[in-house]
Amino acid sequence: MTTEMTEPVTATPNAAAESTRSALLSVRDLQVDLVRGESRTRLVDGVSLDLAAGETLCLVGESGSGKTLTAMSVMQLLPGGVEVTGGSVELGGRDLLRATTKELRAVRGNAIGLVSQDPMTALDPLVPVGVQVGDAIRAHDRRISKAAIRARVTELLSAVGIPNPAANARRHPHEFSGGMRQRVGIAIAMANRPRLIIADEPTTALDVTVQAQILDLLDTARRESGAAVLLITHDLGVVAERADRVLVMYAGKVVEQADVLDLFDRPAHAYTEALLRCSPGATSGAGEPIPGTSARAGALPTGCAFHPRCRIGADRPRCQQETPALLTLGTRHDSACHYPAEVTR
Amino acid sequence: MTEPALRLDGVSKSFAVRGGARTDRVHAVRGVDLTVLPGQTVALVGESGSGKSTVARIAVRLAEPDAGTVTIAGRDVTHLRPRELGPLRRDVQMVFQDPYASLDPRMRVSSILLEPLRAHGQVEKGTAERRVAELLETVGLRAEDGDRYPHAFSGGQRQRIAIARALALRPRLLVLDEPVSALDVSVQAQILALLRSLQEQLGLAYLFITHDLHVAREVSQRIAVMHLGRVVEEGTAHQVFTDPVHPYTRALLSAAPVADPRSRGTRQRIVLSGDLPSVLEPPSGCGFRTRCWLARAECAVHDPALEPHRSHQAACLFPEELDATG
């Protein structure tokens, strides 16, 4: 909170209450390309989403669907050669795509906290975890005293369920289990009371009994801070248990978005239906495979990118030729399917 | 009576772990009994560090147990020397988790599939090409895919190639170590369907290692739950899912997320506190007691054996407690 740029995106109780109605994060028509010399491959194509304070939005899709790139575009932490080439990303009314590097640095780890999939690679193996949490605080508050940092680190580690926080702060990442490391990762993400937490498959690398602990912890952090959570996952079980809203991605596009109950009760895209049916542990028709392989960027089928694998559209000329637009079907429910009425549960 | 495809009796295995000045022994697997009948799938379920992968390695004799016996199709193979393992390798093959790591990127798919046949001197001139085509078609790929390299295939397709390679010697038992964990859900379901149809066609037996209970339920007739080197519960998939006896099994079942938002809040959830205890310093008595909400003083003293409880078997001193709380 030392630079003027962070001011508009710093949470105040009033702002948080207000933004439950208006979006905290608003992404419009986001385009992300892989740029190699003259050639461009579209990886994310026209993604729009809104996320309100206190809300959990799940981004669901298979590998290569663009869900991680969408989230990383918000932070502007994209791999080399990958660029945002269109659209806007607004956090608290400020367009992050037009922010300078310095301004972005003030937002990352401050207004936005990031929890990554693998806490072992996200943490520095040579530095005690307490110092790493402390660095996250100091990076955004140069004038804070050592004693104040130490107190805040202990408070954070204790809040994420690390036993003996003062003593454990002096230990290195390798001395912790995967679950404990992910707790440290969450402590770092929460260090500056972010308004938005981006969690990219935060439990995929963890055992199932630890998964629930970590997701509970994220829920608690969200409830207590009023932060919004953008949760990236491929696991529909996690979606069912944690999401308020769900955005389903396929081949770089949003194919459906809805409130969680709506999505599971009344899916309106053939891909969502297929995903629900193939997930082990889904309630109906568990384990029904989707034929073929995921569409790959740069070699997308014509028309609807899902049509070659689709139960409904594989043989229909309209699905083969015409790209479906994302249309609103009901209350807060959009789908990009030519035949949403034929989708069943 | 049919001979089991695989039988483990009281199998134990420990490893030396050097840490600083002293050497510790990790008891990765302790007294495991397991039977897989021909044509049957037994799922071995557990978290990381439970010892399930060590059991898999013992079953294919990539590791030799310290105690107990390994019987494959009626033959004791516990202490066979590497040179004597040839016939065993024909009967038992393994499929690994990561199809990116398990296929040599510099070999054509046809060579990958022929390698086990060459190693066993089974390649006859003129038939090799036909056998490759046959194997590829068995796993849902095309004969011409044999000319390509692994990088040309997606993760799911690579796992099909790994399965084809495992089938090359016409084994009777496949040991599958997390075969779908690295794959997307839509592809997972494809591979599980393929494994099911192969089992029907070829009468294969599977020892299926997984951390995913939903997957275990879908593929297996029997389930063995491992915790800290021991089997703590064993029964039919139906028994284990509908009538879990061991508190650990109950915790595992309740932790697995259910893809039904309406069950939110209505489902009884057991969230264990703490982590899996370290295999280096296992607790005294029952290995689960440090995380068990039903543990009593006796649990720190006695390490319970796998015994019949209700419809099936579990290793718990106070299984009846579950009825009271459940």
For chain B, the structural domain boundaries read: 6-242, 244-326
Residue A9: DSSP 8-state: G
Give the pLDDT confidence of A129-187 residue by residue, as tens digits. 999 999 999 999 999 999 999 999 999 999 998 889 999 999 999 988 888 999 999 99
Q: Mean pLDDT over all residues of chain B?
A: 90
A221 membership: H or E segment, kind and range: helix A208-225
* B247-255 vs A208-225: helix crossing angle, rounded to 10: 50
Give the DSSP H or E segment for B196.
helix B185-202
Model confidence pLDDT, tens digit, residues B48-59:
889 999 999 999
**What residues in B contact A236, CB-CB < 8 Å?**
185, 259
pLDDT at B323: 54
The architecture that CATH gives domain B6-242 is 3-Layer(aba) Sandwich (3.40)
> Chain B partners of A293 at a C-beta cutoff of 8 Å?
154, 156-157, 187
Q: Do A275 and B192 touch (CB under 8 A)?
A: no
CB interface of B with A, residues 209-228, below 8 Å: 211-215, 217-218
Beta strands in chain B (DSSP E): 6-19, 22-36, 41-45, 67-72, 75-76, 92-95, 173-177, 205-210, 222-227, 230-236, 307-309, 312-314
Q: Provide the chain B residues 285-314 that lie in CB contact (below 8 A) with chain A.
A: 291
Among B230, B198, B236, B211, smallest CA distance to B8 is for: B230
Q: Residue A273's pLDDT is what?
A: 94
Rounded Cα distance between B244 and A317, Å, is 51
Question: Do the chains contact at B186 and A243, CB–CB below 8 Å?
Answer: no
Question: Å from B195 to nearest chain A CA?
Answer: 12
Tell me if chain B has a CB within 8 Å of the CB of A125: no
Quick one: pLDDT at residue A6? Answer: 37
For position A10, what pLDDT does the model report? 36
Neighbours of B283 (CB within 10 A): 17
- Minimal C-alpha gap between B263 and chain A (Å): 8
Instruction: Quick: pLDDT tens for B274-323.
Output: 777 877 788 999 999 999 999 999 999 999 999 999 999 999 999 866 55
Whether ipTM > 0.85 holds is no
User: Is residue B251 within 8 angstroms of chain A, CB to CB?
Assistant: yes
- A·B CB contacts under 8 A: 133
B20 vs B37 pLDDT, higher one: B37
Inter-chain touch A240–B260, beta carbons under 8 Å: yes
Task: Judge contact between B159 and B191, C-beta under 8 A.
Answer: yes
Taking the CB of residue B89, how many other CB atoms lie within 10 A of it?
A: 16
CB contact under 8 A, A210 and B156: no
Cβ–Cβ under 8 Å, residues B225 and B232: yes
Contacts of B156 (CB under 8 A, 6+ apart): A293, B183, B184, B187, B190, B191
CA dist A55 and A226 (Å) reads: 8
Coil vs helix vs strand at A28: strand
Contact: B261, A260; criterion CB under 8 Å: yes
Cβ of residue A186 closer than 8 Å to a chain B Cβ: no
- Residue B87: band (very low, low, confident or very high) from pLDDT cuts 50, 70, 90: confident
Is the alpha carbon torsion for A317, A320, A323, A326 positive or negative? positive
Nearest-by-Cβ selection for B184 from A62, A180, A291 = A62
Residues near A312 by beta carbon (within 8 Å), at least 6 away in sequence:
A270, A319, A337, A339, A342, A343
Kindly calculate the radius of gyration of chain A based on its CA atoms and give it in whole angstroms.
21
Tell whether B1 is within 8 A of chain A (Cβ): no
B165 pLDDT higher than 80? yes
B-interface mutation test, from A241, A263, A265, A271, most B Cβ less than 10 A away = A241
**In terms of C-beta density within 10 A (0-12 exposed, 13-18 middle, 19 or more buried), how is residue B324 classed?**
exposed
- Give the integer Cα–Cα distance in Å for B150 and B107: 8
Q: pLDDT higher for B189 or A20?
A: B189
pTM: 0.86
Q: Which parts of chain A have pLDDT scores under 70?
A: 1-21, 281-286
Separation CA B50–CA B275 (nearest Å): 12
Q: By CA distance, what is A65's nearest residue in B?
A: B184
CB A28 within 8 A of CB A88: yes
Q: With beta carbons under 8 A apart, name residues in chain B contacting A290.
A: 186-187, 189-190
In terms of Cβ atoms closer than 10 Å to its own Cβ (0-12, 13-18, 19+), residue B322 is buried
Residues of B in contact with A274 (CB under 8 A): 186
Domains of chain A in start order, with CATH, are: 12-111+194-342 (3.40.50.300)
Question: Which residue in this structure is represented by tokens 């036909």?
Answer: B130
Contact with chain A for residue B253, Cβ under 8 A: no
Among candidates A207, A213, A243 on the partner chain, residue whose Cβ is nearest the Cβ of B271: A213
Q: Does B257 touch chain A (CB under 8 A)?
A: yes
Is residue B273 a contact partner of residue B295, using CB atoms and an 8 Å limit? no
Cβ–Cβ gap A275/B186 under 8 Å: yes
Q: What pLDDT score does A1 carry?
A: 38
Cβ of residue A213 closer than 8 Å to a chain B Cβ: yes
User: Do B268 and B254 meet the contact criterion of CB atoms below 8 Å apart?
Assistant: yes
**SS3 (DSSP) at A37:** coil
Element (DSSP H or E) covering residue A57: strand A56-60
β-partners of residue A49 are A27
B96-136 pLDDT, tens digit each? 988 888 999 999 999 999 999 998 888 877 888 899 999 99
Q: Which residue has the higher pLDDT, B257 or A192?
A: A192
- Between chains, do A240 and B185 touch, taking CB under 8 Å as contact? no
What pLDDT is stored for residue A13 in this prediction?
Answer: 37
Across the interface, of A62, A209, A289, the residue whose CB is closest to B255 is A209
Q: How far is B82 from chain A (nearest CA, A)?
A: 35
**Cβ pair A237:B276 closer than 8 A:** no
A-facing residues of B in 182-201 (CB < 8 A) are 184-190, 192-193
What pLDDT score was predicted for residue A281?
64
Q: Are the Cβ atoms of B260 and A63 closer than 8 angstroms?
A: no
